[in-house]
A and B are shown apart, each in its own frame.
Chain A
């Protein structure tokens, strides 16, 4: 919108026009010199009394000052001035010189009777359009004064009259005063009427320009606000944490609305108390009051009931639970709105300004939009968190009895209740293993459920894969060392980041590497290669010297609970969900997986995913 604003300023106040016309005048003057010289030659041929030498001198004078103007113009273009003042000065200078040349031409072609007289009107119009309105009158006055002086001098016989262009010498006598005066008055009326007409059009355009400017300013401000609101909604959408979301909302809102402080207060479960959950720009002392009893605070009660509270002077201090704090905080105006989704109100969103009467109706309307969007974002994230929390809690409840059994078995097996003989110990170890498998299955099912519940891709951020590998690899290296399996990892820099989240990559990498370790026999080798391909895609290759996957089983690899025959033979560990989780994660990352394998020799998994 800045463009629109500038456009209006330039067009309606003729700034751009003025700057462009400066060069145009110089070019036009060259044409005038050419046409004028040609005309003078032709004029002297058809009409011998034509003052050729005088005209030649005038056009040489014009040529000389136009060269100077041109040089000055080049300099002006090399280092353009910040404002239009030098152009105004330059234009005045040009019009002044042109009128001087025109005055001489008028004098040598019959003074008040000269046909060149009408070129004065042209200059009056130009000055009226491009320069300030009085310029038009000033230039008109100067030329009329000049003509008046010439008439007076001729009348007093101090100046000899010149023949009128293309007319007989008969008329070149001392003019009759009344007729000349009459002619002069008519001409003066034409000049002033032209100046008045031009300036009135110009003034009217300026008024319209000002109106448009104020509209444009308002549109600029609205556009800026809307852009900032878009950024705010985008930032809130990226949040995975309620506190982070609300802090982002208060911080952005303060900026958008240009106020000193902002706060979100949420209602407790009983809807009796409001608690500050996020503030921006308020002192610790103010927030320390923390809980607001809705019954005691008339204003907050009204807001909770759905009303908008706005005060530009905060005179109704008795309505606040802590009026002295509002004064101490330097709050002069305030707007508070209910945070609501449909008809359900769950909090209050407030703006605080240090300026009296800071909020107009439009501001309140815009803040309502901010508040509604914030409420929606809070509600949305809450529901997502509740969904995830439910899944986690379900897994916890399923795992609790298993954990108790496992703890008891370990206590028994490790001899805390007396010595256990080897056959019984074996049985206890088997029990523990089976329960552990069930525990792992619950973990994987939880993982899969959370993945399938869907994480909003908006919340993804660039993940540094090299750092992730550095963090996770030692853990799997320790597992591999136990089996004497060597892990070799090559990361080819520079490595671009991948959009995702850390937990997602931890699970992806963890599943792939633990699978490789699990199914690679003692003394084997796992080779990991990570790089960014020329196409910009992230490339992971995980190759092991493991048991391999029989060809006929490869199509079932991504089926829930499937475990290959040779996999089951080598270990009981494994839920058959690891690769399903890998595929779910890759779906979210827009990635692909390609598996090649030879039974007894090993497996190679190649993953590709878009990088940032």
Chain B
């Protein structure tokens, strides 16, 4: 049997993190959490997760993006799928650098976007899709 998928949630909203943790753990996924970008990066260095769920705005406006760019630049971590969750309307976040261009200017670093509030079914479907796209992980869902 393959290992359970390891998911790292990086978000400074404890309530939201708890909700997501409950939802993901209900499908027997292994969930780790971090409250900011720095703690998240440390957690990734300790153990490379199969998927990262990342918030955009934490201590700074671009903390989520900063971490995503940093990971994309490091060959060890650049293939980890990143599901970005944000309270910005999805259409705005998806337009990416165009809307955020005055604070960023490089290529878009995230795999998929999910707009808050999180719907449990949408979250699970996005997570499962991303995990099944990545090789060798048993989502532990079926």
Are A407 and B121 closer than 8 Å at their CB atoms?
no
Are A399 and B116 closer than 8 Å at their CB atoms?
yes
Chain A residues within an 8 Å CB radius of B26: 416
**Cβ of A344 < 8 Å from any Cβ of B?**
no
Expressed in whole angstroms, the minimum distance between the Cβ of B66 and any Cβ of chain A is 14
Selected contact of A404 from candidates B16, B57, B89, B105, CB within 8 Å? B16
Selected contact of A410 from candidates B15, B18, B92, B117, CB within 8 Å? B117
Please name the residue on chain A nearest to B98 by beta carbon: A241
Which residues of chain A from 391 to 436 have a CB within 8 Å of any chain B CB?
392-393, 396, 399-400, 402-408, 410-411, 414, 416-417
Selected contact of B13 from candidates A404, A417, A439, CB within 8 Å? A404
Are A407 and B87 closer than 8 Å at their CB atoms?
no
Cα(A110)–Cα(B57), bound, Å: 111
Expressed in whole angstroms, the minimum distance between the Cβ of B26 and any Cβ of chain A is 5
Chain B residues within an 8 Å CB radius of A382: 102
**Cβ of A243 < 8 Å from any Cβ of B?**
yes
Are B118 and A407 closer than 8 Å at their CB atoms?
yes
Which residues of chain A from 297 to 315 have a CB within 8 Å of any chain B CB?
none
Chain A residues within an 8 Å CB radius of B19: 404, 407-408, 410-411
Cα(A242)–Cα(B102), bound, Å: 7
Selected contact of A396 from candidates B20, B87, B101, B118, CB within 8 Å? B87
Are B120 and A416 closer than 8 Å at their CB atoms?
yes
Chain B residues within an 8 Å CB radius of A385: 102
**Cβ of B22 < 8 Å from any Cβ of A?**
yes
Are B117 and A403 closer than 8 Å at their CB atoms?
yes
Chain A residues within an 8 Å CB radius of B117: 402-407, 410, 439
Cα(A404)–Cα(B15), bound, Å: 6
Are A242 and B101 closer than 8 Å at their CB atoms?
yes
Expressed in whole angstroms, the minimum distance between the Cβ of B64 and any Cβ of chain A is 12
Known: A408-B15, A414-B120, A414-B121. Contact between A243 and B87, CB under 8 A? no
Chain A residues within an 8 Å CB radius of B15: 404-405, 407-408
**Cβ of A464 < 8 Å from any Cβ of B?**
no
Chain A residues within an 8 Å CB radius of B18: 408
**Cβ of B61 < 8 Å from any Cβ of A?**
yes
Known: A396-B57, A416-B22. Contact between A403 and B87, CB under 8 A? yes
**Cβ of A443 < 8 Å from any Cβ of B?**
yes
Cα(A389)–Cα(B98), bound, Å: 12
Per-residue CB contact flags for chain B residues 83-118 toward chain A (1 = under 8 Å, else 0) read: 000011100100000100110010000000000111
Are A400 and B87 closer than 8 Å at their CB atoms?
yes
Are B121 and A400 closer than 8 Å at their CB atoms?
no
Cα(A263)–Cα(B102), bound, Å: 19
Further pairs besides A243-B105, A400-B87, A404-B15: 20, Cβ < 8 Å: A241-B98, A242-B101, A243-B101, A392-B92, A393-B61, A396-B57, A402-B117, A403-B118, A404-B13, A404-B16, A404-B116, A404-B117, A407-B116, A408-B15, A410-B118, A410-B119, A410-B120, A416-B22, A416-B26, A416-B120
Q: Give A residues with C-beta under 8 Å from B.
A: 241-243, 277, 382, 385-386, 389, 392-393, 396, 399-400, 402-408, 410-411, 414, 416-417, 439, 443
Q: Give B residues with C-beta under 8 Å from A.
A: 13, 15-16, 18-20, 22-23, 26, 57, 61, 87-89, 92, 98, 101-102, 105, 116-121
25 residue pairs of the A-B complex, CB under 8 angstroms, read A242-B101, A385-B102, A389-B102, A393-B61, A396-B87, A399-B116, A402-B117, A403-B87, A403-B118, A404-B16, A405-B15, A407-B16, A407-B116, A407-B119, A408-B15, A408-B16, A408-B19, A410-B19, A410-B118, A410-B120, A411-B19, A411-B120, A414-B120, A416-B22, A416-B120
